[in-house]
Amino acid sequence: MITSCRVHVLVDYRPALRQPTGVGAYVHQMLRALVTPDGPLVAPDDRVSAFTSSWKDRPTTEARAALAGLPFIDRRVPVRPLTWSWHHLAWPPIEWLAGQADVVHASSPLLMPSRRAAGVITIHDLHFLRHPERMRAEMRRDYPARVHAHAQRAHGIVVSSQYTARDVQATLGVPASRITVCPPGVPAWTGAVRSWRARQSSRHFLALGTLEPRKNLGVLLDAYALLRARCPQAPPLVLAGQSTPAAEPWQRRAGASDLAGHVRQPGYVDDETKQRLLAEAHALIMPSLDEGFGLPVLEAMAAGVPVIVSTGGSLPEVAGPAARPIDPHDPETFAAEMQRLLEPDESAAASARSLARAAAFDWSRSAHVMWQGYRAAWERAR
């Protein structure tokens, strides 16, 4: 039974500090939903705080303004040594850095050590277990070896899709009662992007996300080459996202003779640039091999952009009726779908399906679910 006693929740804000990708955006927007005046805090004395630690990165003025009223506990402590110590020594306890809290929510699959607080972890997907070689060094070193034990000790686990909830239950042996499914909601800026789109014609196909192996961009480039062979006037392709060493073969492929000059790679893009790219997108394409959610798909749908997705992970769940999922190893079908959306009537119908599907996602509703999960974790820890 969840009581109405006061609860103080401390949330790990570190992924939102520098060049935030999907995880950072999720943390920021969830906190924003939690602290709105009509948010889900169920008792007047409930509190939410954000914890950050970095030697040089501080919460931006824009972030603080968007989260007005949210206390930031910001420590000038280097991220990597602190993370190593937490993962390997379970020290220092978070209370030494941030004071007392009732619930401590890590933005990763590994707990932040605490003396008394209920521990909550976030698992957006388990790709790091299946392909640790694709992960950056810290995740490859720590996550696969420790996630089972941390998941068993956690008082609550937050996931962003039913797909990941089922995966966590089956792979980590966690009961459904300890899992809280909180999908992201629609960003506030998508209305402006819709208005922008209404005033101009589309200019490119778009892929958004870190250029890593599971994004399956080789198949996308093959599909785009097939499209150009059939439709030489097809719009260019933009691959927007932070590069990784694994992206080198795709970058070489993008410069090959059949694609040269038709594939743009702007690298990591900030929110303003991302919004412009979506406003000018003919369609967003996500051919991933695996996704725990796939935030760019929701952002695109909410902006009225047609979406093309694979069957990888949660993508069919997120896109719903807005798209017909495609085998991620089938460039022919991706090319055919891109060609179909070049028809004005097909594009308009796909845009309408995107908007209708995006209406199912709401930050306020997800924040209410999140707060219930926090209180349930707190009750388990008492």
Cβ neighbourhood burial of 152 (10 Å; 0-12, 13-18, 19+): exposed
Q: Region 204-222: what's the mean pLDDT?
A: 94
pLDDT range class, residue 1, cuts 50, 70, 90? very low
Phi, psi of 274 (to 5 degrees): -60, -45
Q: Given CATH 3.40.50.11400, say whether it is the number of domain 8-185+362-381.
A: no
Neighbours of 38 (CB within 10 A): 7
- For the cut 80, the answer to whether the pLDDT of residue 225 exceeds it is yes
Spatial strand order of the sheet with 263-267 comes to 263-267, 237-240, 204-208, 281-286, 307-309
On the question of a common fold for 8-185+362-381 and 190-358, the answer reads yes
Assigned token pair, 292: 């725990």
Question: What pLDDT, on the 0 to 100 scale, is given for residue 178?
Answer: 98
Instruction: Say which residue, 153 or 210, is predicted with more confidence.
Output: 153
Please write the tens of the pLDDT for every residue from 264-323.
999 999 989 999 999 999 999 999 999 999 999 999 999 999 999 999 999 999 999 999
What is the average pLDDT across 362-381?
A: 95
Cα angle 347, 250, 262 (rounded to 5 degrees) comes to 50
Predicted local distance difference test score (pLDDT) of residue 72: 95
Distance CA(302)–CA(279), nearest Å, equals 11
- How do the domains of the chain map onto residue ranges? 8-185+362-381, 190-358
For residue 308, the cross-strand partners are: 285
Instruction: Give pLDDT tens digits for 164-189.
Output: 999 999 999 999 999 999 999 999 89
Tell whether the model's pLDDT for residue 42 goes beyond 60: no
Specify the pLDDT at position 68.
Answer: 87
Report pTM.
Answer: 0.92
Tokens of 252: 């070489």
For domain 190-358, say whether CATH 3.40.50.1780 is its number: no
